[in-house]
Structure formats: C-alpha cells, structure tokens
Amino acid sequence: EEHDAEQGLHFSFRLADSSFQVMCSKVFEGFDALQAFVGLCEFDLCRQYNPQVQSVELLPEGCVTSDGVWRVLQEAHGGRREDNIVQVSCVDALDEPLGALWVSAYVPAEGLADLRGIPLPRPTDGAVRIGYWRCVYAI
C-alpha cells in the first residue's frame, strides 16, 4: 500500500492473471454524502467530472430503483473512441456492517445482445467497447 500525503490518497495495485487492479481511497471534507451518492448513481452527471465523456444516455427501460444501464461515448487516452455500456448499481447500506452508501459502475459481460431484457446497441463505427471495467464507491 502506498500513501500520497499531499493528495490524501491511499492506494495499492496488483497485476495478476492478466488483470490489473487498483484500489484507491480518499476522505473528502465538506461534501454532502447524499449529493455525492446521487451524482454517482445518476451516471449522466459524469460529464461534469470526467472531461473525456462526450455523451451519456440511459437506455430505454434501463432503469429500476437501484440499477441503471447507460450508454457512454467517450474519447479515451490517445484519441481512441469508446462506445461503452455501463451498468450502475446503487445500494443504501447505511444499516449494514459497511455503514455506507455503495455505488458500483461496471461493464456487463462481453458479447451480450441484451441485458435484463434491454437490447444493447452495437458500438458505433470506429469505436471500441471495453471488455472489463469496474469502479466501486463507498460513501
């Protein structure tokens, strides 16, 4: 585990079985936890804090109370265009041992034509769709 005192970050990483994993934690002061939770669950708001994202749309019938399916178009590092499907799951675990509002954003398994009965659009011409990505937040 590493620590960046200037940024207030704790992080660790590992490379194993062709998978690169990174864990990072930071304590933010002066933020409203509920607003942060909503900002992460309403994934179309990610354009406000991720300048690479060009557009985000909730897929038709892609939202249930704590789970949404989003199409995210972005220009990744090196100018590569991405057309990704991202599932965002949100849980109020304040009364659980975790004691947090939990959000996970992740791409579904590769090659799916639909997810929970929702037809998934094919990537636009010239764009790639990432095969594995997950980001988890505990607030």
Structural domain count of the chain: 1
* CA 33 – CA 137 distance, rounded (Å): 12
CATH number at residue 28: 3.30.530.20
- pLDDT tens per residue, the chain (139 residues)? 788 888 888 888 889 888 888 888 888 889 899 999 999 999 999 888 889 999 999 998 767 778 899 999 999 888 899 999 999 999 999 999 999 999 999 999 888 999 988 899 999 999 999 888 899 999 9
**Scanning the structure block, which residue is given the tokens 């949404």?**
68
pLDDT given at position 129: 93
For residue 103, the enclosing domain spans 2-138
pLDDT given at position 62: 67
pLDDT given at position 31: 87
For residues 51 and 102, the answer to whether their CB atoms sit within 8 Å is no
* CA 38 – CA 90 distance, rounded (Å): 9
* CA 114 – CA 90 distance, rounded (Å): 21
Give whole-number Cα distances, 115 to 20, 61, 104, 109, 123, in Å.
26, 11, 16, 9, 15
In this structure, what are the phi and psi dihedrals at residue 35, rounded to the nearest 5 degrees?
-65, -40
Token readout for 95 is 């009364």
pLDDT given at position 64: 77
Give whole-number Cα distances, 8 to 16, 29, 40, 70, 103, in Å.
27, 11, 21, 31, 21
